[in-house]
Amino acid sequence: MAFTLPDLPYAKDALAPHISSETLDFHHGKHHNAYVNNLNGLVEGTDMASKSLEDIIQDTAGKADKAGIFNNAAQIWNHTFYWQSMRPNGGGAPTGKLAEMIDRDFGSFDAFKDAFAKAGATQFGSGWAWLVLADGKLDVRKTLNAETPLTEAGVTPLLTMDVWEHAYYLDYQNRRPDYISTFLDHLVNWEFAAENLAAA
């Protein structure tokens, strides 16, 4: 198999009570795993089987005849990034250069939180909210379905929040705003975002 399901960076019960082990069983073990299996089936026997996820995403973005490959590859990448965007005892506020840039580009940390929460809450249907570095400035984006800022020139994803219903429905049912506020207050991994900023 060209691609394998990456392990979670923490135990399945490590994000409880904010995200349950049952949610991670389904979300990581079933949904994420299905994207891996689907992509392997789609690229088997082709030159894409030896390419990186990032290259496959770039090569297939916006091509209708490659939509199945793009959707599964991008969802593998997005989910792997999402798991790392959270940590046990996460939340709070960032420090250092990331904190300074948030204050500079959003006006305040609270203004960033409002913008990020709004992006997640107003993403109609399935998708993602992102903190990105774009042309030297921080910005909040939202993407539909499997879309990812990876396909935008000059844009580096720093952090993401999954707002597909399977990310939160077992724990929050229809209360997406509660999931979003919990993500920001208790789950977000600012160290991961800072590492991505430093590497950009």
In the annotated binding site, the residues are 27, 79, 162, 166
Q: Residue 82 is inside which H or E element, if any?
A: helix 67-84
Count of Cβ atoms closer than 10 Å to residue 46 Cβ = 11
Angle at 95 between CA 93 and CA 101, to 5 degrees: 95
CA distances from 8 to 19, 23, 51 (A): 13, 13, 23
Annotated binding-site ranges for Mn(2+): 27, 79, 162, 166
Pairing, β 137-144 against β 127-134: antiparallel
Count of Cβ atoms closer than 10 Å to residue 1 Cβ = 11
Nearest to 20 by CA among 187, 148, 194: 187
- Terminal C-alpha separation, the chain: 30
